[in-house]
Amino acid sequence: VQLQASGGGLVQAGDSLRLSCLASGRTFSDGNMGWFRRAPGKEREFVARMAWTGANTYYADSVKGRFTISRDNAKTTWYLQMNSLKPEDTAVYYCALDRPPYSVNYYSTGAYDDWGQGTQVTVSS
């Protein structure tokens, strides 16, 4: 599975961005989809996750109410809609895929099997 993240950029505080993650190769329609980010000088942290059924979504407290994870019907592309961006959202954003067997620790990087290359999001104040 290859994951390609895109959509990052330089925006001002309060603006919106939508990140995309395209899965190609041997795709897994039953993979749980996630987003992580790594800010300068910090470790990679959990941002959002959507179960492969689409029934459950999870968010980090820092983005809850501002970010929304979604996917297309073919389950080959998922998105992270980011609204009301803040300077502290500045980071490299990574998409990830958790293939079966699933991990219960969905907030952990170790739960995911495949990673995209990352896309830079910079929010100026």
Per-residue model confidence (pLDDT) at position 48: 98
Share of the chain above pLDDT 70, in %: 100
Mean pLDDT of 53-79: 92
> Which among 48, 52, 50 is positioned nearest to 36, based on CA atoms?
48
> Quick one: pLDDT band at residue 14, thresholds 50, 70, 90?
very high
Mean pLDDT of 69-95: 94
Amino acid code (one letter) for 39: A
Contact 99, 113 (CB under 8 A): yes
Helix intervals (H) in 1-125? none
Per-residue model confidence (pLDDT) at position 25: 86
Per-residue model confidence (pLDDT) at position 55: 84
Query: Which tokens hold the place of 93?
Result: 């954003």
Question: Per-residue pLDDT for 73 more than 90?
Answer: no
Q: Is 109 helix (H, G, I), strand (E, B) or coil?
A: helix
Question: Per-residue pLDDT for 75 more than 80?
Answer: no
Q: Give the helix/strand (H/E) hosting 63.
A: none
CB atoms within 10 A of CB 14: 11
Mean pLDDT of the chain: 94
Contact 38, 95 (CB under 8 A): no
